[in-house]
């Protein structure tokens, strides 16, 4: 029998204020307070818990385009980190009843316990059109009675996401190892168990648990190091491959990560694999540059690929590599985002180095992109020969 919980509370007024002066009113849910951040939107029809706990959303107020939020509650198995990283949540409607056989808490109670504010009753279709026209913009959600004028002053004093190094704020402080897989029976994707697992060092710029699980599933023994790890610390672990993770903020501001990537690129035939922010950092280390997208790519159905081959992908990023700056003699753009032709993946022409802008570990329905982990494992296997 499915578990069911009811979200019952007396409605409290809430307000959303954007830096351009737009004020939207609604009802509060989650914690009481005020949260400031960059207002973005996610078009996924499911996966709200994964989104909220993804460290890549640090510093952001996330608008969910799916009209009802919280209908399946919260469970520990679906979390990408120990706690939510979003600063605030914007929804059309909060489900009055949450029901799912794996549910352990309601969205409302979970957000309260982690001090995350939310606003519902907002016309999210109109808000998303506003963001698409004007771009992602700083804003504030308040459920504690702060006036819109006060909020506007606070929002306009905030720094832009461009130039912010947020990776350090979400990264682990101490190294650790990871050997866990996705819960048995729930994930039917490939699991490879070599007699001698590949020694992989993962640099944590905001790494998702699902990425760690897929690395293990493809035969890796993973040691996770902080975002400010040095080349000497990485090489001391004698890795057979190095993985650069996803994360929040402006990739060009992650100076320590770029410096590390430059050092790793110079290591003879060492396989390197980057996802999202890690992909961008690799591109920067190889001579490219990045730019801020108007409103970013955040959703579960972005088509990416090359001629004749398309992958339906999960994405979450507000910056992208500039294809025109990538050195053509060294780097090949292997995949494009087929919506706007931005760089979705690249490979080095001479070295075992590649990056993927989207999230091959995610499973928005299809598992089209999981093969990228297999490619990383194959590069490490070739190195052993």
* Residues noted as catalytic: 276, 359, 361
Bridge pairing between strands 68-69 and 93-94: parallel
Structure token digits, residue 43:
């078009």
Report in angstroms the alpha-carbon separations of 189 from 52, 218, 248, 300.
Answer: 24, 10, 27, 18
Continuous H helices in the chain: 48-53, 107-113, 124-134, 148-156, 167-170, 209-217, 231-235, 255-265, 277-285, 371-384
The phi, psi pair for 98, rounded to 5°, reads -110, 130
Angle of CA points 225, 227, 229, to nearest 5°: 60
Residue of 137, 167, 145 whose CA lies nearest to 37: 137
Please say whether the beta carbons of 337 and 304 come within 8 A.
yes
Within a 10 A sphere around the Cβ of 200, how many other Cβ atoms? 27
- Residue 195: which residues within 8 A CB-CB, separation 6 or more? none
Please say whether the beta carbons of 316 and 54 come within 8 A.
yes
Residue of 177, 221, 224, 223 whose CA lies nearest to 196: 221
d(CA 375, CA 378): 5
d(CA 132, CA 150): 26
């Amino acid at each position: 029998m499915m578990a069911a919980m009811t979200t019952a509370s007396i409605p409290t007024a809430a307000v959303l204020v954007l830096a351009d002066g737009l004020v939207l009113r609604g009802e509060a849910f989650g914690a009481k307070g005020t949260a400031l951040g960059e207002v973005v939107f996610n078009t996924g029809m499911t996966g709200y818990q994964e989104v909220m706990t993804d460290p890549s959303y640090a510093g952001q107020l996330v608008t969910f385009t799916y009209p009802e939020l919280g209908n399946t509650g919260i469970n520990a198995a679906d979390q990408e980190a120990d706690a939510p990283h979003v600063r605030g949540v914007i929804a059309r409607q909060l489900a009055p009843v949450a029901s799912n056989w794996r549910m352990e808490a309601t969205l409302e109670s979970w957000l309260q316990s982690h001090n995350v504010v939310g606003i519902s009753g907002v016309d999210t279709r109109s808000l998303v059109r506003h963001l698409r026209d004007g771009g992602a913009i700083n804003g504030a959600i308040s459920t504690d009675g702060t006036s819109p004028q006060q909020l506007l002053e606070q929002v306009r004093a905030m720094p832009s996401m461009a130039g912010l190094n947020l990776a350090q704020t979400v990264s682990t402080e101490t190294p650790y190892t990871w050997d866990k897989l996705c819960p048995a029976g729930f994930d039917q994707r490939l699991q490879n168990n070599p007699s001698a697992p590949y020694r992989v060092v993962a640099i944590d710029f905001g790494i998702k648990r699902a990425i760690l699980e897929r690395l293990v599933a493809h035969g890796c023994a993973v040691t996770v190091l902080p975002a400010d790890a040095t080349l000497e610390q990485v090489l001391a672990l004698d890795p057979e491959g190095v993985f650069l993770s996803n994360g929040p903020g402006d990739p060009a501001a992650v100076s320590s990560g770029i410096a590390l990537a430059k050092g790793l690129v110079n290591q003879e035939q060492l396989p390197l694999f980057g996802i999202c922010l890690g992909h961008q950092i690799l591109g920067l280390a190889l001579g490219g540059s990045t730019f801020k997208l108007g409103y970013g790519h955040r959703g579960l159905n972005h088509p990416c690929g090359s001629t004749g081959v398309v992958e339906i992908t999960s994405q979450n990023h507000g910056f992208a590599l500039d294809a025109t700056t990538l050195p053509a003699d060294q780097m090949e753009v292997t995949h494009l985002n087929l919506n706007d032709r931005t760089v979705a993946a690249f490979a080095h022409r001479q070295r075992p180095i590649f990056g993927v802008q989207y999230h091959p570990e995610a499973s928005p329905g299809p598992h089209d992109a999981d093969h990228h982990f297999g490619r990383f494992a194959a590069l490490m296997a070739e190195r052993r020969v």
